[in-house]
Amino acid sequence: MEIILRMKDHINHWPCSRCGKEAKQYINQAPTVAIPAHMRFDWNGYDSPVTGRHIRNKREHIEDLAQHDCIEYDPGMKQDADRRVIEHDKALDRLVDETVDRELEQMPTIKKEAMDAELSRGVSIEMERQTL
């Protein structure tokens, strides 16, 4: 005789219904289900930031990225972007300092003296960056 039980209903000793002796038990492994590759890592979905279309699975996610020339977000990207901004700002500051130094060297003596006089009277200078 064959009895199929759920794992939670399984007990170690099962008496044979015919003779009352302990029955042999065989526990089969649960069947393996083949899942297509494009569905293996599905998630709850999201709305595409580009089109607003609801993305339901990994395949749609990959297609959405490809259609809009995007790449998968990696949390390290934010840190890399922040680092690049800091490096860019340092390089820009260095260029500004070099430009100021060069212009001061080329400035006529009369202008240097006038600027020196203004600064000694307490004139303050505020540096301001302007984007073109």
**Bridge partners, residue 15, by sequence:** 22
Cβ–Cβ under 8 Å, residues 58 and 38: yes
Residue 67, classed as helix, strand or coil, is: helix
Token digits for 59? 């395949």
- The percentage of the chain sitting over the pLDDT mark of 90, rounded to a whole number, equals 21
pLDDT in tens, 63-78: 999 999 988 888 888 8
**Bridge partners, residue 46, by sequence:** 55
pLDDT in tens, 44-64: 788 888 899 998 888 888 899
Whether this model's pTM surpasses 0.75:
no
Which residues, at least 6 apart from 127, have a Cβ–Cβ distance to it below 8 Å? 96
Domain boundaries, the chain: 76-120
Q: CA 25 to CA 12: how far, in whole Å?
A: 8
- The pLDDT of residue 31 is 63
Using pLDDT thresholds of 50, 70 and 90, give the confidence band for residue 9: low
